[in-house]
Amino acid sequence: MHPHPIHDFQYKNGELYCEGVKVSAIVKKIGTPVYIYSYKTIVEHFRKIKEAFKPIDPVICFAMKANSNLAVLKALVNEGAGFDIVSGGELKKARLVKADMKKIAFASVGKTDEEIVDAVKAGILFFNVESKPELENIDRIARKMKKRVQVALRINPDIDSPTHEKINTGSLKKKFGIDLKTARAIFIGQKAYKNLLINGVHIHIGSQITHAEPFLAAIEKALAFIDELEMDGVKVDYFDIGGGLGIIYQNETPQTAKEYADKVLPLLKGRKFKVLMEPGRFIVGNAGIFITRKLYLKDNGVKKFIIVDAGMNDLVRPSMYGSYHEIIPVKKAGGRNVVCDVVGPICESGDVFAHDREVANVKDGELLALLSAGAYGYVMSSNYNVRPRSAEVMVKGNKWAVVQEREDFKDLIKGASIPEFLK
């Protein structure tokens, strides 16, 4: 069926199931397009990381940017997860699901004053800071609030990670992090920031990285940096090793959590600092599928196109990064496969889910599933072409629930009005 086993999405008697629930039964009730998440996959992947890194008991901060559905977040909080957040909205969601604020790291290169104030009030663990002006601003706000705030500096180890150019963040050509020389000067001169305790080092070199080598190189570089600081009398209490663990989308051979831990742990064991990790995609990527309906097959004599009812506004990864998502029929039929492009209804030539792919030529009106859609799927969706965002569903065993309702037209024009001078 598939180049890799996605255990909680399987065929039974020719029908695709998520855990104990028939996918077509969900669609019958709530229509298409729809994201469907497996609770079991989410929790198991979190536990795999927790188990693999048990010897150092890290704070595992789920990267909320990958999937911020409240049910997904609550499932992870119940397992003891913290969050890596990048906006005020994500902070509010963390509070809604009753996350432990002492397990929250706030990153992002452009935090506003309002976001900083809210995070200080909430009592988060620390800010991951990406530049000197940002540091000065947090210090100024903390002084006004009469608070002392913990800060980790995101250092840029200047390591090129072998991943897509748009998700490689570890080289100095990118907007992320502080170069080592500047970072060292900040640590040593931190008395200048009276309301900050600069006691953490943060690295994050990119996303969807399938081998340990770039991580190891970055961690080693950061550890040498920490050792140097300690010789200068600077105490480092936290080392945030970021996220970026890759998953299988097509034919990648990513490391398991255990293989990654086996390589990384020897570097971190016996150290005085607390380790934080920020997995996102690794936990939710393969825990979600995206269901769309075939409208019809178009054949222009040169090429065939399966046209579906979902578009790049629903799942932008293939258009934005050229990402691969396996496409399988929800109901296995004896029909033939067809080599085609799978495309949506959006008025952009980039609105393509698959190029020249051999896909099951299901009947018009039948369902197709795009696999590995749990990360950077719904969170990146938009209302382009005045299209409502799809629904989200969570399945646990043989129970399921709509965890985000499908938008309707009223949602799309909420807050919109025609001014008097046009009437």
**CB of 103 closer than 8 Å to CB of 61:** yes
Cis peptide before 133 (omega within 30 of 0): no
Type and span of the H or E element at 293: strand 288-299
The DSSP line for 223-265 is: HHHHHHHHHTT----EEE----B---SSS--PPPHHHHHHHHH
Record the tokens describing residue 394, joined without a space.
Answer: 């969570």
- 419 to each of 102, 386, 413, how far by Cα in Å? 46, 20, 14
347 is catalytic: yes
Residues 155, 181 contacting (CB under 8 angstroms): no
Spot the catalytic one: 18, 61, 340, 347. 347
**For residue 366, which amino acid is it?**
E
CA angle 7, 71, 332 (to 5 degrees): 35
Cα–Cα dist 224/241, whole Å = 14
Place of tokens 């002392």: 148
- Where in the sequence numbering do the catalytic residues fall? 347
